[in-house]
Amino acid sequence: MFYTSTRKQLEEITATKAILQGISEDGGLFVPKTLPTMDFKLKEMLDWNYQEIAYRIIRLFFEDMKEEDLRYCTTHAYDVKFDSDEIVPLASIKHANFLELFHGPTIAFKDMALSILPYFMLVSKKYNNEKDDIVILTATSGDTGKAALEGFSGVEGTKIIVFFPEDGVSDIQKQQMVTTVGDNTFVVGVKGNFDDCQTGVKEIFGDVDFKKELADKNYKFSSANSINIGRLVPQVAYYFAAYAKMVKAGKLELGKEMNVVVPTGNFGNILAAYYAKNMGLPIKKLVCASNTNKVLFDFLETGTYDRNREFHLTSSPSMDILISSNLERLLYHVSGENTEKVCELMKELKEKGVYSVTDEMRKNMADFYGGYADDAMTKEVIKKVYDEEGYLMDTHTAVAYSVYEKYVADTKDETPTVIVSTASPYKFTSSVMTAVSDKYEGIDDFTLLEEMKKLENGYMPKAMDGIANREIKHKNVCEVSEMPQMVRNFLV
């Protein structure tokens, strides 16, 4: 299988080359020339563990990787660093099923892809005789940064630089990042929002002179954001795992359709579900859940994408995004792989901040349903589910649950549904605990970790144990305009 760009048809770009490069030279994102189809029966999955499911799905996308190399990647990525042998357990309450993607080392769903990406990078370097050090350059809205730092810390032949909005992540997210160890890691707080960070990273990627400057020092840029196809493809696997778990739990009849509800800001997580559906997994509806920054909801409702709006800092900060990078891949697919159309839309987005898709493209997005929940709705849902079911969910999962309830009320659709739970409640202690009870108001996040532990019957993830007392290793803060110089400071 070969890859092309969303903005220009390319010839014979292998998966390993696309993984190393991260983003196409024309500014587009790498996509498979043809989406693969599953080459096994659904029933077979019932006997597979997560590592086997991941291998079976990823190999369909990354055909230039040898079996022994890909199996090495999957078995080493999904191992004891996860605190559940299932890797992605399914939790069910009376009215909902949650696929818990937060049992990795940073207790967020980004671990699912970022635990395996470093192995992809090393294999890809070997296949392409790449001698330069790979510099992972990443913008984060909170979760990607720490998961990438955790995955790449100490990995020979790589360096990783993470930019995050200085005032746009939770205290615990920030503490996780700035206490990261590893001589090859570099973390910078940016005086701006996530979109500023993401745009700054894209501009660095697109700076030909800068890339040449670093090439002279034997460095080559790549990305750990979901713009990297090596980040996106592993996410496809857990939708297949969700289907198998739903069947084995008696929540779904084998061969029947299920719905998925995905809280998303950058669109990568739900795009992975779209890929799974197009590979043959019986998914009926792709429910896209947004917070108050409802740019994706408005797009699905109207066909017009407009980032010219007020930016809101919410209790679900990983979705505080107005420029959803992975949406570009969907535009490529629903436009009939029309790279000229994608270029036109991306140019309008850059110059005017708004674009509208054609009626035909909207028709091809009919499987998506958009909904959103504000902070008040999020808070209400966390309390209700905990009071009624004893199940504690984080703010992003609560956004998804709220949208799920609205979807069922609007459509009367009784299709068995999986809600993607993207983070542990321990990641957002203040927002979660103050939703449960007003008595937690005014208490700092780190004290609340111990209070949450009481609600969780003594359970606390290893990732949170002693976090408040860890030494701060990274104290860098910069303006958006200073991001390139910060890269130079670390590398040169």
Q: Is 110 one of the annotated active-site residues of the chain? A: yes
Instruction: Using alpha carbons, select from 370, 372, 416 the residue that is nearest to residue 398.
Output: 372
CA distance 82 to 461: 10
Cα 278 to its chain centre, rounded Å, is: 19
Residue 332 parent element (H or E): helix 327-334
For the chain, the straight-line distance linking the first and the last C-alpha, in angstroms and rounded, comes to: 37
Rg (CA), the chain: 21
Q: How far lies 319's CA from each of 268, 295, 406, 422, in Å?
A: 11, 10, 19, 11
Among positive and negative, which fits the CA dihedral 395, 398, 402, 403?
positive
Distance CA 377, CA 454 (A): 25
Catalytic residue among 81, 110, 285, 294: 110
Helices H / strands E in the chain, number of each: 21, 15
Query: For residue 154, how many other CB atoms are within 10 A of its CB?
Result: 11
Which tokens in the block code for residue 216?
A: 């002279």
Structural contact between residues 266 and 292, judged by C-beta atoms closer than 8 angstroms: no
Q: Which two tokens stand for residue 287?
A: 């429910």
Burial class (CB in 10 A: 0-12, 13-18, 19+), 378: buried
Those residues with Cβ within 8 angstroms of residue 329's Cβ, 6 or more apart along the chain or in another chain: 6, 29, 31, 232, 271
User: What's the farthest any 2 CA atoms get from each other in the chain?
Assistant: 61
463: which DSSP letter? G
- Residues annotated as catalytic are 110
